[in-house]
A and B are shown apart, each in its own frame.
Chain A
């Protein structure tokens, strides 16, 4: 602007003569050819410029598709995961706040509980953990903690497994036909493996005995990972109270995680089973391993 008079002429001349070939490496070919042949043959030049524009449009469309894929796998995941972390923290905090009683706040109570004999309920014959009633559809009723998935991993669990209303928010969804956390039978949840925050992307990295914590308004359910199974997409029997035995009467309290497999292809389903180990009432504070996570912000 201030020194236009000095540069303008030469710059304009230069750019006018070879602008088509110099600015767009990816799409310069057809456009440059069209510009150069503009003088000799008029009919051919129209065809060439049309082809050139079509080529540029196709290249642009291709770039947009790749941008969308990159956004879906990374950018959207970052946004969803931060939203999930704050939603899960908010849920946990609201439950702790609504628990009135002589107990100290969750973290300090957890520290003492870890030091002394914890008041958790080992789940054996005869001792039944608290089981909440099924919540309204799409409502967030639990928080999932899986240390194997990340030191600060926490995701909400909502009622239902509808993709658009539940799963695409980046959390897990509870199969409504399956039992609630801690109940005799099978607490089955689903979440995306790739995209939409990829909450279950590391489901295949679970190792036997890994803890899987589910927090509800009543407290914390500690499950231990048992085994993996791979089924076809119609393998609904994994959701049964006794997985793969729909007619059997349940004798175990299980958690079942379902997601897609292989990664990015989803022609199969990967199933992870866990067995309930203990129930920790809210008044006793969170289990030691996740005491630093519950109720805290990201």
Chain B
């Protein structure tokens, strides 16, 4: 999977590394801005800090 990704990328090694780093930064931004908050809302435990009957 990652091997295929490396093969698909164009250009010399340094350019591929740059592309991958940029893609990684975009991925982390998308995850922390939209994906993780959504998952957090779905996974929220019912009442984790309160006392309930």
Interface of A toward B, CB cutoff 8 Å? 1, 4, 7-8, 11, 15-16, 19-20, 23-24, 27-28, 31-32, 35, 52-53, 56-57, 64, 67-68, 71-72, 75-76, 161, 163-164, 167-168, 173, 175, 190-193, 200, 231, 233-236, 238-239, 258-260, 266, 269, 271
Contacts and interface: CB of A to CB of B under 8 A. Distances in A.
A49 B45 CA distance: 38
B50 A71 contact: no
Contacts of B51: 190, 231, 233-236, 238-239, 258, 269, 271
Nearest to A173: B50
Contacts of B44: 163-164, 168
Interface of B: 1-3, 6-7, 11-13, 15, 28, 31-32, 36-37, 39-41, 44-53
A153 B36 CA distance: 26
Given A11-B12, A68-B36, A68-B39, 9 more contacts: A20-B3, A76-B37, A168-B41, A175-B50, A190-B49, A236-B52, A236-B53, A260-B48, A269-B51
Nearest to A52: B1
Contacts of B46: 163
Contacts of B45: 163, 266
Contacts of A167: 49-50
A64 B36 CA distance: 10
A42 B32 CA distance: 41
Contacts of A35: 3
A260 B49 contact: yes
Contacts, number: 101
A28 B4 CA distance: 12
Contact of B2 (A8, A23, A67, A258): A23
A195 B1 CA distance: 34
A173 B28 CA distance: 31
Nearest to A53: B1
A23 B6 contact: yes
A167 B28 CA distance: 26
Given A19-B6, A56-B1, A168-B44, A76 B53 contact: no
Contact of A259 (B7, B31, B39, B49): B49
A258 B40 contact: no
Contacts of A233: 51-52
Contacts of B52: 233-234, 236
B40 A56 contact: no
Nearest to A56: B1
6 nearest A-B pairs in the assembled complex, by CB-CB distance:
A20-B3, A56-B1, A24-B2, A190-B50, A31-B3, A260-B49
Nearest to A71: B36
Contacts of A57: 1
